[in-house]
Chain A
Amino acid sequence: MSTIERFRPLFFPRGVVISGVSVHPGKWGFLFLHHLVRFGYEGKVFPIRRDGAEVLERRSYRSIEEIPSGEADLLLVCTPTAINEGLLRAAGRKGVRAAFVAAGGYGETGEEGGRLERALVAAADESGMVLAGPNGQGLVSTGAKLCAQMAAPYPPPGRISAVSQSGNLLSSFGHYATMTGVGISKAISCGNSAQLGIDDYLEYFADDPDTAVSFAYLEGVRDGRRFFERVLRCSRRKPVVVLKGGGTPRGQSAASSHTGSLASDDRVFDGLCRQTGMRRAETLEEAYEAAATFATQPLPRGKRVLIFTAAGGWGVLCADACVRAGLEVVALPPDLRAEVDALLPSRWSRGNPVDMAAGESRETIPTLLDLVTRHPDVDAVLYLGIGIQAANAEVLRSGPFYPRHGLGRIVAFHQRQEARYAEAAKEVSERYGKPVLCASELVVTDRAGRNPAPRAVAAGGRILYPSAHRAVRALAHLVGYAGWRRRRGL
């Protein structure tokens, strides 16, 4: 069976059974049902409660036996460990092909829990079911309008798919997606990974046509060799961003050699990431921004960056960040310099960063963006300072003289222009197949949301990076992955 077929009941179920549904709004069994309905799941929903009482204005079923056969593909398990093995087997007989076990009390609690977990896997295997969890927070599949989780958020649809050994971290990841609008295709909190491991999900994401980039948060892997080999295959097909937490302290066994004593878990894992092309992030926001950049920007052909900035300081800091990240701030080619010269007042920087020194006018920014992005010596463009004119316009707008003395006209003009710049950045990026990343702190500092630049970038389906450093960091992941592919002839 293909992975697409195998995972379909989990991510595209025709109907969902929820065991252990509660009428108490604080209980998982309530929240699963609530979120499923609240976010518009269109398949049939079968809540199970022992008393068969109504819950959230719909009937419930006393047991799995009351549910019609062949109408549900997915079982969400919120009931206690003691009954779940039997529940899975009964669900299998009803045609259910996937189970997400949210319930805890399994391998994470010790030996007895481990035994129950193995029994759960056996029940799933024997029933031909895929088993996610146990001890997970849930899953979302925006293509199926499926919010089968007991936590927030239900992120907007997009092309990032995520798997996480921590449910909370997955929520945080989803919050970034909600904030920026660069959304999620599938996300799953894999819990103890009793049957399906991180690498199973990554393999599915690699096969899944709706996924452009995968993200994984992990603390440990069960079978390291298998993980290595599969991740290598996945990464050859599409980018994988990984964030690794803690892990167990190193045993003493290997310390008889120098090599062994130097082989910390972290160093070995870092080497594995470089070898497999997996992009390792240090923080969650870096991981999200890397994934979102892979999902929305073309891969660069090389590491030569042109910095396009409205003013000096940003460009200087950005150039420093590029060098530290291993990117090349390309020397401005003479032909490009001549072309830019014709468009800007003579005080512009005449080098890279291309610092317009506030010399831009009505048409120059879109034209300049096109020129610098088009040039064959430029692999990627970082555009700094979008929104600066509208920020000043806001001061005029909120002052005592607005809209008199021509202020009404100039404010409207700047607000329109910022949107044009954001659109131009996206247009030239698509036209020449090169990443063009815009950065401005306004995306987080403009709490009132009056500045049109962040909105315009988001409307184009891309991210406005909160600083040049964060844009550089994200771009470095694209450059690193593209180089890894190129050196392998991919």
Chain B
Amino acid sequence: MFLSEFDSKRLLREYGIGTVEEALAREADEAARRAGELGYPVAVKLCAAGLAHKTERGLVRLGLADEPAVRAAAADLLGRREPGEGDARLLVQRMVGGRRELILGLTRDRQFGPCVMVGFGGILAEAVGDIAFRVAPLSRTDALEMLSDLQTAHLLDAFRGEPAVDREALAAALVALGRIGVEHPEVRSIDVNPMIVCGDRPVAVDALVERE
């Protein structure tokens, strides 16, 4: 069963992984208030435990520039709830800018147990296939080596006017995912996808934690 996107990222924050700033809202007024607090532009998504395939169902609105846009999106998203999704909330997020996207994850290998992954491409990661795995727990050295394993590792350096990625922060996130794998046997998998590099800082924008 999948935790909600909000609860998924709350777990990541408990382990020190930087996530996008976000807040839950019950209805359009509250969503507009939260958006004002976070600062525009924002994204609004429908958010509930067990809710996957949000993009495919049209439950994600990006780049909302002002309050009317937030109110309209909120009303529309709440109207798209299906039977059984009555508890679904609105998740309001500050938009994060950055041209480099990564995927980070945790899976349980049937032979080697909890394994941590990093890859380039964010939502394109499966097509790009430039990924590296390590067995949890990872040391900081393991995590830094893992980043260097990527064929496109040079994209983590200063690139087209963007600064070098804070590799220590990225390595710390990988170490943290490994710790979750070791300390939470009930967590079956985690996808952090995408992890957007904003300036030099990796930020978990979407995340999905799967539990037993």
Chain A residues engaging chain B, CB cutoff 8 angstroms: 220-221, 224-225, 227-228, 251, 253-254, 256-263, 265, 267-268, 270-272, 274-275, 487-488
Query: Are A260 and B107 in touch, CB under 8 angstroms?
Result: yes
| Segment among B36-44, B82-90, B135-143 that sits at the interface with chain A | B135-143
Query: Are B131 and A267 in touch, CB under 8 angstroms?
Result: yes
Query: Are A254 and B109 in touch, CB under 8 angstroms?
Result: yes
Q: How far is the CA of A228 from the CA of B113 in the complex (A)?
A: 10
In this complex, the interface size class of chain B, counting residues with CB under 8 Å from chain A, is: 35 or more
Distance in angstroms from A24 CB to nearest chain B CB is 42
Which residue on chain A has the smallest CB distance to residue B110? A251
Chain A at the B interface: SS class: helix
Which residues of B sit under 8 angstroms from A487, Cβ to Cβ? 141, 145
Query: Are A253 and B110 in touch, CB under 8 angstroms?
Result: yes
Which residues of A sit under 8 angstroms from B208, Cβ to Cβ? 257
Distance in angstroms from A16 CB to nearest chain B CB is 36
| Closest 7 pairs (CB-CB, A-B) | A259-B105, A271-B133, A224-B111, A257-B189, A224-B112, A259-B107, A260-B107
Chain B at the A interface: SS class: strand
Which residue on chain B has the smallest CB distance to residue A271? B133
Q: B48 at the A/B interface (Cβ < 8 Å)?
A: no
Q: B210 at the A/B interface (Cβ < 8 Å)?
A: yes
Query: Are A268 and B142 in touch, CB under 8 angstroms?
Result: no
Distance in angstroms from B141 CB to nearest chain A CB is 5
Query: Which residues of B from 82 to 116 have beta carbons under 8 Å from A?
Result: 103, 105-113, 115
Which residue on chain A has the smallest CB distance to residue B105? A259
Q: B45 at the A/B interface (Cβ < 8 Å)?
A: no
30 inter-chain pairs at a CB distance below 8 angstroms, sorted by A residue, are A224-B112, A227-B112, A228-B113, A254-B108, A254-B110, A256-B188, A256-B189, A256-B210, A257-B107, A257-B189, A258-B105, A258-B126, A259-B107, A260-B105, A260-B107, A262-B119, A262-B126, A262-B129, A263-B107, A263-B117, A265-B111, A268-B112, A268-B115, A271-B133, A271-B135, A272-B112, A274-B132, A274-B146, A275-B142, A488-B141
Q: How far is the CA of A144 from the CA of B189 in the complex (A)?
A: 50
Q: B156 at the A/B interface (Cβ < 8 Å)?
A: no
Which residues of B sit under 8 angstroms from A488, Cβ to Cβ? 139, 141
Known A256-B189, A258-B193; contact A268-B105, beta-carbon cutoff 8 A? no
Which residues of B sit under 8 angstroms from A261, Cβ to Cβ? 126
Which of B110, B113, B138, B189 sits near A259, CB closer than 8 Å? B189
Q: B162 at the A/B interface (Cβ < 8 Å)?
A: no
